[in-house]
């Protein structure tokens, strides 16, 4: 298996002087292609910061990051290109655009990559059907349940066939049944598409789905 | 999905409508003020142009026929009548002066125009009634009776046969001319120059200006001929002479541009206000959209992508607001109590500038807004719009 994410000596600090918080402290991490990794740890230990770094949303203060064998150089590179071409995100609070239907919310991701409309509509329909929402295409986020919203958001993350998906507490706002449904769906998709998936969670019960669990404490990885 | 920005606008339509209405009102006011000034310019010029005279003469030191105090005597006419560059017999004495006549017991603003019936300076004809009986200016002796008759503007609402009192004299309305108002809808009262002298100057044989036509092509390269002729006449130390163009410039400067400086300033302020308005609303809208912008960036939207979404909205709102304002200004103009002439070309230019001002300030606001950190997508603090409470469990998950 090839290594798809490789971080060496990553550091990220927020604030300066006395108020400085070392959110990520000398972290080395490797994730293999197709792996399903869970990142766990107490609140505030740096999980979100870590996947933001790996997902090219934040830039590290120091350290080196390679995604899909490409060294990331935030100084000379537009990171939004990497985000839209290689990465999909699922957020705890779904973050669907309230003025768009489920279908359009998925299509937005492909609007960003300038996919033509008929093609993106076709793919969005396929994806929403795949996540079990073929009956909900024209519903707005306000008309969907939390579980449904998270599935739309997952479909959006898949839209541009990313190699990696990062999900930050994707089930934290779902009840246990919705949460199980979501995890099953993630598993299925991973098997179908060999997508690499990193999930931040504090649900001990989800561990059994993972290939590997990374535990964090105070900005460091303690076991992986 | 190039309609993403339209969907956003439909979702926030109340704000879109309110912003457009704000721009509409401001732009229509800007255009209306322009129309008022343009209307004043037209009125300032129309009488002077209607006379057909291209040389305007006033007393030395008056600064121009319509500007300072000017009194000319009959003797001033003699050298003009023999001036080789002026059309023979075209020199015409003229009185043009503000007055406050009493009409039906009410004091009204008007301008007395006293001219000689067979010379320049009068109306082309009457639309109703007849011309006044004329006196013989040359044969004037102060004790001669003058015809107390006047011709009024058709829009004054005065009927033929009615009386108009100016000072201690009462004149009878004998005819109406096609409307030809001076600045701020001031009507002209045409009368014999002798009558004007009687009612305004206590019967003194004076006029405040003389007008004439230059002889065509007395000087080669005739475009600037009037200027040369006027300059030649002006060399005399009894009179000042100007071309019709100089005279019109004087009138516009004196009656329109000078007094309307504050209005011009107000127009610029209104422009700034509309720019500020759209800038502020865009900025406030952006603050509300911080989360959305952050999410769009997090899922791979480049700054240009987000910027184009925002700018398209600003552009559409600006164009809609300005276009409706454009149409509205014509409606306002029609309803205005004074003469308003909106100049189409000028309005188009003003509208285009307004759109640029609005888009520019929208752009500044948008540039600030797109600086959001996409990291915000992982956070929920300001995510009030769609937190799961109350919705999440409202539907069961199939
Ligand atoms: N933008 C920020 N500014 C200041 N401190 C931050 C910021 N983001 C995170 N932190 C701090 O960094 C630490 C790690 O945060 P985070 O990665 O969100 O933790 P987790 O996701 O594990 O709960 C926390 O102490 C948090 O307060
Ligand atoms: Mg977190």
Atom 27 of ligand 1: nearest residue by CA position: A44
3-state secondary structure of B190: strand
Mean per-residue pLDDT over chain B, rounded: 83
Question: A223 phi and psi, to 5 degrees?
Answer: -140, 150
**Cα–Cα dist B90/B229, whole Å:** 14
Atom 4 of ligand 1: nearest residue by CA position: A14
Cβ neighbours of B35 (radius 10 Å)? 23
Encode pLDDT of B262-305 as tens digits.
888 988 888 888 778 777 877 787 778 888 899 999 999 999 99
**For residue B6, which of B282, B315, B354 has the smallest C-alpha distance?**
B315
| Helix A117-130, helix A146-158: angle, nearest 10 | 130
Identify the top-confidence range among A99-113, A183-197, B135-149: A99-113
Chain-chain contact of A99 with B10 (C-beta, under 8 angstroms): yes
Chain-chain contact of A89 with B393 (C-beta, under 8 angstroms): no
3-state secondary structure of B103: strand
Cβ neighbours of A53 (radius 10 Å)? 25
**Cα–Cα dist B350/B347, whole Å:** 5
- Compute, in degrees rounded to 10, the torsion defined by CA atoms B143, B149, B152, B154: -170
* pLDDT at residue B384, rounded to an integer: 40
**Cα–Cα dist B188/B191, whole Å:** 10
Contact between A111 and A120 under an 8 Å Cβ cutoff? The reply is yes
Spacing, Cα A119 to ligand 1 middle (Å): 39
Encode pLDDT of B158-213 as tens digits.
898 899 998 888 999 999 999 899 988 999 999 988 888 888 888 788 888 988 88
> In this predicted model, which residue has the larger pLDDT, A128 or A177?
A128
**A220-223: strand order across its sheet:** A87-90, A164-168, A196-200, A36-41, A212-217, A220-223
β pairing state of B92-99 and B110-115: antiparallel
Contact between A141 and B388 under an 8 Å Cβ cutoff? The reply is no
**Cα–Cα dist B43/B37, whole Å:** 10
DSSP B260: T
Is the C-beta atom of A44 inside 6 A of ligand 1?
yes
| Helix B344-369, helix B13-51: angle, nearest 10 | 150
pTM: 0.77
Token pair for residue B310? 């925002």
Q: What share of chain B is helix, strand, coil (3-state, %, to 5)?
A: 50, 15, 35
Q: Which helix (H) or strand (E) holds A146?
A: helix A146-158
Q: Which helix (H) or strand (E) holds B110?
A: strand B110-115
Chain-chain contact of A113 with B300 (C-beta, under 8 angstroms): yes
Spacing, Cα B368 to ligand 2 middle (Å): 27
Encode pLDDT of B253-274 as tens digits.
998 998 888 888 988 888 888 7
**Could you give all domains of chain A from N- to C-terminal order, each with its CATH number?**
3-223 (3.40.50.300)
Atom 13 of ligand 1: nearest residue by CA position: A23
**Cα–Cα dist A194/A164, whole Å:** 9
Is the C-beta atom of A21 inside 6 A of ligand 1?
yes
Chain-chain contact of B396 with A145 (C-beta, under 8 angstroms): yes
Token pair for residue B69? 């105090």
**Cα–Cα dist B346/B358, whole Å:** 18
Contact between A38 and A196 under an 8 Å Cβ cutoff? The reply is no
Is the C-beta atom of A49 inside 6 A of ligand 1?
yes
* pLDDT at residue B375, rounded to an integer: 86
* Residue A178 confidence class, pLDDT cut points 50, 70, 90: confident
Question: A133 phi and psi, to 5 degrees?
Answer: -120, 30
Residue of A17, A19, A21 best suited for mutating to test ligand 1, as the one with most atoms within 8 Å of CB: A21
**Cα–Cα dist B197/A56, whole Å:** 91
* pLDDT at residue A172, rounded to an integer: 85
β pairing state of B55-59 and B239-243: antiparallel
DSSP B182: B
3-state secondary structure of A140: coil
**Cα–Cα dist A170/A185, whole Å:** 12
* pLDDT at residue B144, rounded to an integer: 66
* Residue B55 confidence class, pLDDT cut points 50, 70, 90: confident
Chain B interface mutation, best of A23, A97, A161, highest count of B Cβ atoms under 10 Å: A97
* pLDDT at residue A1, rounded to an integer: 67
Token pair for residue A49? 């910061």
* pLDDT at residue A39, rounded to an integer: 95
Burial track A125-138 (b if 16+ CB lie within 10 A, e otherwise): bebbebbbbeebbe
Q: Which helix (H) or strand (E) holds A196?
A: strand A196-200
Contact between A43 and A202 under an 8 Å Cβ cutoff? The reply is yes
Contact between A103 and A137 under an 8 Å Cβ cutoff? The reply is yes
Whether residue B221 is predicted with pLDDT greater than 60 in this model: the reply is: no
Question: B239 phi and psi, to 5 degrees?
Answer: -135, 160
Atom 5 of ligand 1: nearest residue by CA position: A14
Q: What does the longest C-alpha to C-alpha distance in chain A come to?
A: 54
* pLDDT at residue B136, rounded to an integer: 67
Residue A86 CB-half CA count within 13 A: 18
**For residue B95, which of B80, B112, B110, B108 has the smallest C-alpha distance?**
B112
* pLDDT at residue B122, rounded to an integer: 87
* pLDDT at residue A8, rounded to an integer: 96
Q: Give the distance, in angstroms, between the CA of residue B40 and the centroid of all CA atoms in the same chain.
A: 4
* pLDDT at residue B138, rounded to an integer: 61
Whether residue B372 is predicted with pLDDT greater than 70 in this model: the reply is: yes
* pLDDT at residue B389, rounded to an integer: 36
Cβ neighbours of A184 (radius 10 Å)? 11
């Amino acid at each position: 298996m090839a290594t798809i994410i490789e971080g060496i000596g990553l550091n990220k600090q927020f604030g300066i002087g006395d108020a400085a918080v070392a959110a990520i402290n000398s972290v080395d991490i490797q994730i293999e292609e197709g792996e399903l990794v869970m990142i766990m740890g107490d609140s505030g230990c740096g999980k979100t910061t870590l996947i933001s770094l790996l997902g090219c949303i934040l830039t590290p203060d120091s350290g080196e990051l390679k995604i899909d064998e490409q060294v990331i150089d935030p100084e000379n590179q537009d990171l939004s290109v990497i985000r839209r071409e290689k990465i999909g995100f699922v957020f705890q609070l779904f973050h669907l655009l309230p003025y768009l239907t489920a279908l359009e919310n998925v299509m937005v991701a492909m609007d960003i990559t300038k996919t033509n409309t008929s093609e993106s509509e076709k793919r969005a329909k396929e994806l929403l059907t795949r996540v079990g929402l073929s009956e909900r295409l024209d519903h707005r986020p306000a008309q969907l349940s939390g579980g449904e919203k998270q599935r739309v958001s997952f479909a959006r993350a898949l839209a541009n066939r990313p190699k990696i998906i990062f999900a930050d507490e994707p089930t934290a706002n779902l009840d246990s049944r919705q949460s199980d449904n979501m995890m099953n769906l993630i598993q299925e998709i991973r098997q179908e598409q060999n997508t690499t998936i990193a999930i931040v969670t504090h649900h001990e019960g989800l561990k059994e789905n993972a290939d590997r669990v990374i535990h964090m404490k105070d900005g460091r990885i303690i076991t992986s | 999905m190039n309609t993403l920005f339209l969907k956003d606008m439909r979702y926030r339509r109340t704000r879109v409508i309110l912003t457009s209405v704000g721009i509409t009102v401001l732009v229509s006011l800007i255009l209306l003020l322009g129309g008022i000034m343009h209307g004043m310019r037209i009125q300032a010029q129309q009488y002077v142009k209607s006379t057909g005279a291209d040389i305007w003469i006033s007393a030395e030191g008056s600064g121009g026929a319509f500007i300072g105090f000017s009194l000319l005597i009959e003797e001033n006419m003699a050298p003009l009548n023999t001036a080789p560059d002026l059309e023979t017999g075209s020199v015409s004495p003229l009185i043009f002066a503000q007055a406050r006549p009493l009409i039906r017991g009410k004091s009204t603003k008007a301008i007395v125009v006293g001219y000689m019936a067979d010379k320049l300076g009068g109306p082309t004809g009457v639309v109703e009634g007849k011309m006044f009986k004329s006196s013989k200016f040359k044969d004037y002796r102060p004790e001669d009776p003058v015809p107390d008759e006047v011709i009024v503007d058709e829009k004054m609402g005065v009927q033929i046969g009615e009386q108009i009192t100016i000072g201690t004299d009462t004149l009878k309305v004998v005819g109406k001319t096609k409307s030809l108002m001076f600045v701020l809808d001031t009507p002209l009262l045409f009368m014999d120059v002798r009558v004007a002298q009687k009612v305004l100057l206590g019967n003194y044989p004076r006029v405040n200006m003389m007008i004439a036509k230059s002889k065509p092509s007395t000087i080669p390269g005739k475009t600037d001929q009037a200027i040369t002729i006027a300059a030649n006449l002006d060399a005399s130390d009894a009179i000042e002479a100007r071309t019709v163009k100089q005279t019109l410039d004087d009138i516009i400067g004196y009656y329109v541009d000078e007094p309307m400086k504050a209005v011009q300033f107000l127009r610029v302020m209104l422009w700034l206000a509309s720019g500020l308005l759209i800038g502020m609303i865009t900025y406030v809208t952006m603050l509300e959209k911080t989360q959305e912008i952050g999410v769009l960036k997090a899922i791979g939207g480049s700054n240009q992508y987000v910027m184009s979404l925002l700018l398209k909205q600003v552009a559409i709102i600006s164009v809609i607001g300005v276009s409706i304002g454009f149409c509205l200004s014509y409606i306002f103009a029609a309803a205005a109590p004074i003469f308003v002439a909106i100049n189409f070309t000028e309005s188009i230019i003003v509208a285009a500038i307004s759109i640029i001002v609005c888009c520019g300030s929208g752009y500044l606001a948008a540039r600030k807004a797109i600086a959001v950190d996409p990291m915000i997508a992982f956070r929920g603090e300001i995510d009030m719009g769609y937190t799961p409470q109350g919705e999440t469990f409202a539907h069961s998950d199939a």
